[in-house]
């Protein structure tokens, strides 16, 4: 029952938090300030909503299948390493950037966003990976 609830709730929440962390790092890398967040005639319209929605859609669209494949592999092989998730996140961020923008040399923001996304996923759902308990060898 615990594994079912983990798969049903914790993994999707971890994936959404990873995307949110990647968007925050990616926007911070390009210098959004508090003055950039609000616009309109009275400063009441959150201008940041449009770039956030575009980034969330693009990251989710481009990274959902590789991320789900990594989740399945980590559940099958009980990969619980933070370093493994950070390396995978960085590789996924870099790969998505190279695929979306070939020839663009702005590698650090998507790489950092991928590292942070992998770490956030590990914090929420990756630490308990494994569908079954690994049996201890009897001596």
Any domain includes 136: no
pLDDT at 88: 92
Residue 73 contacts residue 126 (beta carbons within 8 Å): no
Any domain includes 133: no
Q: What is the mean pLDDT of the chain?
A: 81
Q: Give pTM, 2 decimals.
A: 0.78
Domain span holding position 59: 2-128
**Least confident range of 16-20, 29-33, 95-99:** 29-33
pLDDT at 90: 92
Report the relative pairing of strands 45-46 and 38-39 from DSSP bridges: antiparallel
Task: Identify the band that residue 33 occupies on the pLDDT scale cut at 50, 70 and 90.
Answer: low
Note the pLDDT tens digit of each residue in 103-131.
Answer: 888 888 888 999 999 999 888 887 777 75
Domain count, the chain: 1
Query: What are the start-end ranges of the H helices in 101-126?
Result: 108-124
Note the pLDDT tens digit of each residue in 55-90.
Answer: 888 888 888 899 889 888 888 888 888 899 999 999
Any domain includes 138: no
Any domain includes 35: yes
Any domain includes 54: yes
Any domain includes 116: yes
- Tell me, letter by letter, the H, E, C secondary structure of 7-72: HHHHHHHHHHHHHHHHHHHHHHHCCCCHHHHEECCCCCEECCHHHHHHHHHHHHHHHHHHHHHHHH
pLDDT at 43: 66
Any domain includes 19: yes
Any domain includes 50: yes
Q: Which of 93, 105, 18 is nearest to 62 (CA)?
A: 93
């Amino acid at each position: 029952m615990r594994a079912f609830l983990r798969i049903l709730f914790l993994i999707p929440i971890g994936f959404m938090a990873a995307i949110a962390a990647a968007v925050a790092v990616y926007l911070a890398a390009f210098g959004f300030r508090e003055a950039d967040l609000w616009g309109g005639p009275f400063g009441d319209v959150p201008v940041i909503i449009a770039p956030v929605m575009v980034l969330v859609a693009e990251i989710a669209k481009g990274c959902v299948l590789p991320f789900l494949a990594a989740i399945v592999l980590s559940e099958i092989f009980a990969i619980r390493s933070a370093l493994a998730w950070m390396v995978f996140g960085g590789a996924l961020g870099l790969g998505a950037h190279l695929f979306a923008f070939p020839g663009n040399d702005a590698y650090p923001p998507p790489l950092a966003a991928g590292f942070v996304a992998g770490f956030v996923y590990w914090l929420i759902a990756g630490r308990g990976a494994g569908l079954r308990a690994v049996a201890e060898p009897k001596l």
